[in-house]
Amino acid sequence: MAEPHAVIVGGGIGGLTAALALDRRGWAVTVCERAPVFDPPDVGLALPPNGLRALDALSAGDDVRKRSAVHDVASIRRKDGRWILRTGVEETRRRFGDAVCVLRNVDLADVLLERLPGSVLHTATTVTNVEPGDTRRPARVLTDVGELSADLVVVADGARSTVRPELFLEHPGAVYAGFTCWRAIVPRPPDYPLEYGESWGKGGVAGVLPLSGDEVYCYATGNVPAGGSAQDERSELIRRMDDWHPPLAELFEAARPEAVTRMDVWHIDTPLPALHKGRVALLGDAAHAMTPNLVQGACQAIEDAVVLAHHIDGSVAYLPTALRSYTDARLSRTSALVQRSAQLAEAVQNDSPVVTTLRDTAAGVVGRLAPTLLARYTRPIDDWQPPAGM
C-alpha cells in the first residue's frame, strides 16, 4: 500500500513541524517553499513550556533546549528602567515544568530539518492554487513548477497567506494590528551586566532576551502606519530608543545595519469558521495569526502540527472527517489566544499617559502578588499537553 502523501505550503517553523509530525506517522511529505533558497530570518524565538512539550512529542525538545538560553515567564520594566514585574527561571520551572527557551529561528529550523528526509523541502516552488478535494477525491496543488496530488494539504504560508482567501472567500482575512516590530541579534556587551526582559513605554515596548553564546536578541515596537519603512532602520530604531533606559539604544547601535529587520504585525482578528476545508488543514499564522505579546505564535503552530498528525492518523479515506476533529481540538484555544494577545497588545501599545500609568500600576500589583496571579493568567496557556500517544 502506497504511503499517503501530504503537501505543505510554506517552509517556516509551522510547515517544518507539520512535515516532521507527518513523517513520523508514515506520510510522504512535500514542502513547497516559495523562496529560491531556504534562508530563515535571523531573529530570536522564545518557546514557553507548552511549545517545548509539543517538540518533546516529536523527540526534538531536548535538542532545542541544548541550543537555547533559558529565560523566565515575565520580567517587565518601565521605560525608565524601574521594575514592574519580575519572575525567575527556577520559579518558572517549578510552576510550569520548564523554563522559556530562547534560540535563533534558524537553529529551530535546523533541528526540524535534521530529522526530515533531504527530499522533503522544495524551494523556489510557489503554490498558485489549491483544490481542496473531498472524501472521494484527493486534493490538487498547482505550483509554478507543476501539479501535485495530495491526500492532505497543510497551509502554513503565514499571516498574509495567499491560499487562505481562496478557501474562505467571505472571511476578512488578517488585519494590521497597528504597530510594527524591529528585531536584531547583537553582540552581548562584554562589560555590561544585562538584565533580561521587556520594557513598557508609551506606544511601544522593547525587549532584550538571552541567546546561547555571546549574542542577545533585541526587539522594539512602535505605532506606525502599515507598509512603512525607513532609509536606515537601525538609525530609526536608535532614534526611537533615545530616551529609554540603558542599554537599549546602545545595544541597537552595536547591531550591523543589515541585521535590523522590520516587520509589520498582522493578526486574524475574526476567527476562521474552521481550520480545514475538504482535505486542506490550516495551521500557524495562516490559521490564527496573533500579535507577539503572549509569545505564542510559534508555539501554537507547533501545537497545531502535533494535534493535526494525531487526528489524521488513520484511514486516508476518512480524512475530511478527521480534519473536523482537528478543527474542534484547535479552533477554540487558538481563537481565545488571538483575542487575549490582542488585548495585551492594545494595553502595551497605548500612547495615552493615563492609560499607561494605569497599565503599569495594574502590572505592578500582579508583580507584588506574583506568582499566584501570574500563574493564574498563564496557566491555561502553558499547561497544554500533547495528545496521548504522540
- Mind listing the pLDDT tens digit for each residue in 146-173? 999 999 999 999 999 999 999 999 999 9
User: Residue 286 corresponds to which amino acid?
Assistant: A
User: What does the pLDDT read at residue 376?
Assistant: 67
Note the pLDDT tens digit of each residue in 322-334: 999 999 999 999 9
In a 3-state reduction of DSSP, which class is residue 261?
strand
User: What does the pLDDT read at residue 156?
Assistant: 98
Domains of the chain: 5-77+99-174+269-349+361-382 (3.50.50.60), 176-267 (3.30.9.30)
User: What does the pLDDT read at residue 191?
Assistant: 79
Instruction: Output the nine-digit C-alpha cell for 164.
Output: 487562505
d(CA 72, CA 99): 6
Quote the pTM value. Answer: 0.95
> If you search the block for the grid coordinates 516532521, which residue do you land on?
20
To the nearest 10°, report the CA torsion of 19, 23, 27, 29.
Answer: 40
Residue 371 pLDDT > 60 = no
Residue 77 near residue 135 (C-beta atoms within 8 A):
no
**H/E element holding 282?**
strand 280-282
**H/E element holding 90?**
helix 89-96
Residue 53 near residue 385 (C-beta atoms within 8 A):
yes
Q: For a pLDDT cut of 90, what percent of the chain falls above it? A: 81
d(CA 130, CA 157): 13
